[in-house]
Structure 1
Amino acid sequence: MKKLFGTDGMRGEAGRFPLDAATVRIAGRSLAKRLAERLGRAARIVAGRDTRESGEWIESAFLEGARASGARVESAGVITTPGVAYLARALPADAGVVISASHNPFQDNGIKIFAPDGRKLDDATERLIEADIYAATDGGAHASEENSESKAASGPSGVDKSKAEVDEGGAEVDESGAEEDALRSAALRVRYLDYLGEEVAAGLSLNGMSVVVDCANGAASELAPALLARLGARVVATGDAPDGRNINRGCGSLYMDDLQRRVVEEGAQLGVAYDGDADRSLFVDARGRLVDGDATLWVLAKRMQGRGELAGDRVVATVMSNIGLELALRSRRVELLRTDVGDKYVLEELLRTGAALGGEQSGHIIFPRTSLAGDGMITTVNLLRAMREAGRALDELTEGFERYPQVLTNVRVREKVPFEEVAEVARAARDVQARLGERGRLLLRYSGTEPLARIMIEGQSQEEIERLAEELAAVIRRTLGAG
């Protein structure tokens, strides 16, 4: 049975298994049922979505399924992923459900489920939901066929539009109920915004500061500009006009060039770009230079260490973080702990070690004392606070962090034999690391989805690391290559 849940929930093309309406209903029904079995009572579920055109019908289908299992459900409408995680904790709800595919294009969507403490749903419950889906859809085949047959009559949502104005019992829907739901959704979003403005940003004034914010035409399109304006900043918003299809399209944290240019043109002190669900953020300093997750961790770690808040003088990052971050932190006697790629693994290490700061180069930063979910707007507030407290520009605060040259090389292989079991490869890898010394790094791993060996080398000289990567690649081709 193929896993449907990955490290970041269940994702795929909207309208196709497992994100067809029938299967989504099964997932909602299963979650509510499994929670009720554990709790001994009906579950309470809060949901939210990003701005994809498929988001509303997927959310509706999921909550319809949950209601069928007796759950009490409510929606915050368009809200960020960490916003739903916050609401699950604050209400409290028994689960928070996010309909989003993060930085993916609009055709994709996903379902991400949070526990009340902000952690992602446990693996055991995910496996139970998968089993329920496969049992009800004959391994996915029935749902796919049913969805294909119903598309012409049902539209892209796979929901029969002839039933759009009746409830599950066939009665006409009370329009006043829909109005109440809309008011409740707005109130939930305001509650999250109040939390950011009054608790996370307590005492922070941005008067006299200009910030350019790129919302990726996503979930932060209304919330992020509103938060920054509330704190007193002059806000120039871009990527804030979602139309259901333009999420992440040429904007947001995947496309930083326009933001870098706009910050300089506006004479702004900071630029910030979010992805579609705003769980991550990347920044631009006043000189138009990119400040990625590594540089952000460096600035925040220095501030927290100076305030005695950097527990154990440790920072958690992934194997993809640049060695320049490791060396910069080492200069302040701060240890960098590395994990596999994925915020899930960063969070696990934060909780295991008690560290107070962790994140990814992509801009997904976690402050476990504040929230167990990465939140791009919380990261923005904390970075702005660091700038205000120091009375220095961001380019000054990033001094001391030097990004080392990096090369990535892929080699197609015929089989994924552990590298340490191939004597010639193991010997070549040890030789590369020895030649790099303490100011260079080799990461050798297999792709999780393709028959590829991935070589990543960082060092002081671009020419040297390219030569070393090609030497190692030649050994892998000779011993493991697909021919």
Structure 2
Amino acid sequence: MSSAPGTKLFGTDGMRGTFGEPPLDAATVRRLAHALADQLVSADGAEVDVVIGGDTRTSTPQICQWIADALGERRVRVLDLGVAPTPAVAHLVPRLGAAAGVVVSASHNPPADNGIKIFGADGFKLSPAQEEALTRAVAGDAHGQGRAASEGRSHAPPRERRVVDREPVGRYLESLLGSVGEQRLDGLRIVLDSGHGAAAGLAAELFRQLGASVHALHDQPDGSRINVGCGSTAPEVVARAVAEAGDLGFAFDGDADRVIVCDSRGVVHDGDAVLYVWAAWLASRGELPGPAIVATSMSNLGLERALARHGVAVVRCDVGDRAVVETLRRERLRLGGEQSGHLVDLELATTGDGILSALQIAAIVARSGVALEELARPLERYPQVLRSIPVHSRPPFESLPEVQSVVADIERRLAGDGRLVLRYSGTERVARIMIEGPDHDQVDALASRLGETLARAIGAPREEVPHGSVR
């Protein structure tokens, strides 16, 4: 059965699910592609181009076929890049003069999952309003209301409108090389874990071209093993390899839009640490507008404290790399990111790019002559405790007096030297608590107290605990 009308299709990072089940069944995917085409094709029926690509999952070619066929039925020419990183599609859409880009990937999720991300003609992800318009159109098409929108348009054989071309991916790779200028990486021993995903066969070659000695792990495209005990979901693998014989390590997720980094000791550094190193470097060269960066509500307070010593402010935003990018554009800033390793430099990209971020950090290490562990040392993290509380409903927290009372007491106890973030998940039926402060035992006790209060107020029974991926 296909996705029911009115169902929310898009989460914080596109549409995700289990292949073959709504919304990643053939009927829903085709309706989504029709809805996208109907938004792109003008009233005079002039043809437009859409770029598509995806990761290495075994289901990706089938979903791409569904999309290409459905777009072709609406006079849309499809340029199929084959296996390609998400940021490659985003980079190429405006440069190829395409009207949109579609990526088939579930990022860091297990192999059985997949997903769809859509980029506009400018290379940026669609806004929530644009995604909602597509959702309404898909729901209308499910009731036959969408047929009127395409009435009279050509329904030429879809395969005539699909061209498979890997050459543009080469242009994207050239842009990555150009992002470090004349900087070489000679002498650096770098371990790369591509996680059997879209970075496989690409990232290692780029680092070698720049002179690095590369040890490549899980560098074969393999959709049955993508993210399984490797890549960004298992950074301990690359960390062990670097500790044995390396200077830097980088682990990518399935579609290569995020990266986790480790230093020569095998110590893993998340997106906060990478943001600190990158921002401090740009600020020292007078190349950081503001000077300020964008970080999400979940980034550690230690990041703010460390960057303040460089005169760099931190602008907070909601979770999700799209929220990071929207805030960067609104505030006219350059650099931002998430703890998860989604990092965006708007002077170089329109979305998170794991390979680009890895190249920038390696170039900073090479240029400065300072090891990553030393560059990151000034970042002193505050203890941070996270709790996820299954809930049966999602009322505004302000409407829960007992919860508000505990929140107010926690904020008084932290007294400006800590933070509390309370939010509902965008992908699961849970409330998320994040508390940080100088004393771990204190924040742990406060998080437990708030979690127990939430569970009493709106907690779901044990049998209702939802399952699913967490961003």
**CA offsets 1:287-322 (integer angstroms, 9 cap, x no match):** 110111000000011011111111111111111111
8 Å Cα contact 2:11/2:427 also seen in 1: no
Which residue type is aligned with residue 78 of structure 1? V
Partner of 2:438: 460
Alpha-carbon RMSD? 2.5
Partner of 1:268: 246
Structure 1 residues 82 and 452 mapped into 2: Cα distance closer, same or farther (>3 Å)? closer
Which residue type is aligned with residue 188 of structure 1? P
Q: Which residue, 240, 256, 264 being the options, matches 2:219?
A: 240
Q: Please state how far the C-alpha of 1:79 moved relative to its aligned partner.
A: 0.7
Q: Please state how far the C-alpha of 1:121 moved relative to its aligned partner.
A: 2.1
8 Å Cα contact 2:296/2:338 also seen in 1: yes
SS in structure 2 of the partner of residue 6 of structure 1: coil
Question: In the alignment, is residue 9 of structure 1 matched against residue 14 of structure 2?
Answer: yes
8 Å Cα contact 2:92/2:123 also seen in 1: no
Question: In the alignment, is residue 445 of structure 1 matched against residue 423 of structure 2?
Answer: yes
Partner of 1:33: 38
Which residue type is aligned with residue 361 of structure 2? L
Per residue, is there more helix in 1 or in 2? 1
Matches of 1:451 and 1:112 in 2, distance apart? 22
Which residue type is aligned with residue 266 of structure 2? G
Which residue type is aligned with residue 196 of structure 1? L
8 Å Cα contact 2:195/2:254 also seen in 1: yes
Q: Please state how far the C-alpha of 1:40 moved relative to its aligned partner.
A: 6.5
Matches of 2:394 and 2:31 in 1, distance apart? 36
Q: Which residue, 175, 189, 207 being the options, matches 1:195?
A: 175
Partner of 1:317: 295
**CA offsets 1:419-462 (integer angstroms, 9 cap, x no match):** 33444432332222222233322112334455544322112222
8 Å Cα contact 1:212/1:270 also seen in 2: yes
**CA offsets 1:357-392 (integer angstroms, 9 cap, x no match):** 100000000111221111111111111121122110
Q: Please state how far the C-alpha of 1:413 moved relative to its aligned partner.
A: 5.0
SS in structure 1 of the partner of residue 272 of structure 2: helix
Q: Which residue, 88, 96, 100 being the options, matches 2:101?
A: 96
Counting only pairs closer than 5 Å after superposition, residues 56-75 of structure 1 correspond to structure 2 as 56-75=61-80
Partner of 1:50: 55
Matches of 1:13 and 1:342 in 2, distance apart? 21
Partner of 1:20: 25
Q: How many residues are aligned here?
A: 447
Structure 2 stretches lacking a partner, 5+ long: 1-5, 145-154, 462-471
8 Å Cα contact 1:103/1:254 also seen in 2: yes
Matches of 1:387 and 1:294 in 2, distance apart? 17
Structure 1 residues 134 and 353 mapped into 2: Cα distance closer, same or farther (>3 Å)? same
Which residue type is aligned with residue 80 of structure 2? S
**CA offsets 1:4-37 (integer angstroms, 9 cap, x no match):** 1223222221122332234323322332221012
Structure 1 stretches lacking a partner, 5+ long: 140-166
SS in structure 1 of the partner of residue 415 of structure 2: helix
Q: Please state how far the C-alpha of 1:465 moved relative to its aligned partner.
A: 1.4
Structure with bigger gyration radius: 1
Structure 1 residues 227 and 347 mapped into 2: Cα distance closer, same or farther (>3 Å)? same
Structure 1 residues 6 and 133 mapped into 2: Cα distance closer, same or farther (>3 Å)? same
Matches of 2:458 and 2:112 in 1, distance apart? 37
Counting only pairs closer than 5 Å after superposition, residues 235-314 of structure 1 correspond to structure 2 as 235-265=214-244, 267-314=245-292
8 Å Cα contact 2:418/2:435 also seen in 1: yes
Matches of 1:420 and 1:136 in 2, distance apart? 38
8 Å Cα contact 2:197/2:222 also seen in 1: no
8 Å Cα contact 1:106/1:246 also seen in 2: yes
Matches of 2:100 and 2:131 in 1, distance apart? 13
**CA offsets 1:227-263 (integer angstroms, 9 cap, x no match):** 1111111111111123321111110101011111100
Matches of 2:79 and 2:206 in 1, distance apart? 24
Q: Which residue, 137, 140, 149 being the options, matches 1:135?
A: 140
Partner of 2:403: 425
Which residue type is aligned with residue 263 of structure 1? V
Question: In the alignment, is residue 335 of structure 1 matched against residue 313 of structure 2?
Answer: yes
Partner of 2:327: 349
Question: In the alignment, is residue 382 of structure 1 matched against residue 360 of structure 2?
Answer: yes
Q: Please state how far the C-alpha of 1:331 moved relative to its aligned partner.
A: 2.2
Q: What is the TM-score of this pair, normalised by structure 2?
A: 0.88
Partner of 1:108: 113
Matches of 2:320 and 2:79 in 1, distance apart? 29
8 Å Cα contact 1:30/1:66 also seen in 2: no
Q: Please state how far the C-alpha of 1:207 moved relative to its aligned partner.
A: 1.1
Which residue type is aligned with residue 384 of structure 2? Q
Question: In the alignment, is residue 226 of structure 1 matched against residue 205 of structure 2?
Answer: yes
Structure 1 residues 133 and 470 mapped into 2: Cα distance closer, same or farther (>3 Å)? closer
Q: Please state how far the C-alpha of 1:136 moved relative to its aligned partner.
A: 3.6
SS in structure 1 of the partner of residue 325 of structure 2: helix
Structure 1 residues 423 and 65 mapped into 2: Cα distance closer, same or farther (>3 Å)? closer
Matches of 1:291 and 1:39 in 2, distance apart? 52
Matches of 1:449 and 1:370 in 2, distance apart? 29
Structure 1 residues 40 and 310 mapped into 2: Cα distance closer, same or farther (>3 Å)? farther
Matches of 1:66 and 1:415 in 2, distance apart? 38
SS in structure 1 of the partner of residue 33 of structure 2: helix
Q: Please state how far the C-alpha of 1:474 moved relative to its aligned partner.
A: 4.3
Q: Please state how far the C-alpha of 1:104 moved relative to its aligned partner.
A: 0.9
Q: Which moved more, 1:380-389 or 1:390-399?
A: 380-389
Structure 1 residues 5 and 302 mapped into 2: Cα distance closer, same or farther (>3 Å)? same
8 Å Cα contact 1:295/1:401 also seen in 2: yes
Partner of 2:349: 371
Matches of 1:96 and 1:338 in 2, distance apart? 28
Q: Which residue, 165, 186, 192 being the options, matches 1:207?
A: 186
Structure 1 residues 468 and 135 mapped into 2: Cα distance closer, same or farther (>3 Å)? closer
Structure 1 residues 297 and 244 mapped into 2: Cα distance closer, same or farther (>3 Å)? same
Q: Please state how far the C-alpha of 1:72 moved relative to its aligned partner.
A: 1.6
Which residue type is aligned with residue 426 of structure 1? Q
